[in-house]
Amino acid sequence: MLRTLIILLIILAPHAAFGKKPAAPVLLFDEGHKQHFLIEQNKALDLSNLAAIFKDQGFIVKSSVKPLTTKLLREVSTLIISGTFQPCSRIETAAIKNFINKGGQLVVMLHIASPTAGLLTALGVAISSNIVHERNNLLAPPGDTNFYVTNLPSHPLTKGLSRINLYGAWALNTRLEANVIARTSPQAWVDLNHDQKLDAGDAVQAFSEIVTGQLGHGHFIIFADDAIFQNRFLVGDNYTLALNMAKWLKQGSYYRL
């Protein structure tokens, strides 16, 4: 009788495991690198509305001012690093790469380029030395650094989108062309010689503004502009982009090893 019961438990155990509802995934906003725009505040440039989108999709949303370590990231499925003014240390960068390798998901949103350059270089992504200027698709207020992009290759992030609005974006460069999710028009330019005008010393081309990448069992998304998701600009197509991102990251949040 006892032997029969043990055999029955062994048979049923896998089915019980498969039937168990997975725990809600944890999303961590890094706030330990002198970020000015936070999820706990509701001002125009804060990220409280973005955090609300993730909560609505079933994420447990947290923030941390602590250094990013393997121990801290162990229970996290998705890490967002937005608007940093202080670079990650080499130890933090190693912990982040280990986190992605083991199935974690990283999202980086750029405010200024230099603090994130080391981390992005470790992920095979380079950043321009100056922000992008456009000659097409300009947005108000006047100026050629506020513009929208319509070159949006098919991807879960761009589902249902006709455009994405940018407000002071950098140019990204990745070795994997297939990972580019959004590009400027071919008439966009970057002021390489820093003379504040378009001339022969500058780069003119279609620049990458959103890229993704795979590392081990996980992946990352790099946005060349953090304003996309700030409260003031999180409307219309930008809201749809954020919702697409939350849904896509939710699907990948249970592959953490």
pLDDT digits (tens, 9 = 90+) for 56-67: 999 999 999 999
Strands 208-215 vs 218-223: parallel, antiparallel or unpaired: antiparallel
Q: What is the pLDDT of residue 7?
A: 45
If we measure between CA atoms, which residue out of 240, 243, 82, 237 comes closest to residue 165?
237
Is residue 218 within 8 Å of residue 229, measured between CB atoms? Answer: no
CATH topology of domain 24-130+171-186+208-251: Rossmann fold (3.40.50)
If we measure between CA atoms, which residue out of 225, 220, 214, 216 comes closest to residue 172?
225
Please give the Cα distance from 110 to 85 (Å, whole number): 10
Helix (H, G, I), strand (E, B) or coil at 155: coil
What are the residue boundaries of the structural domains of the chain, listed by start?
24-130+171-186+208-251
If we measure between CA atoms, which residue out of 73, 71, 70 comes closest to residue 29?
73
Q: What is the tens place of the pLDDT at every residue in 190-199? A: 999 999 999 9
Query: Distance from CA of residue 115 to its chain's centroid?
Result: 15
Q: Which residues of the chain have pLDDT under 70?
A: 1-22, 254-257
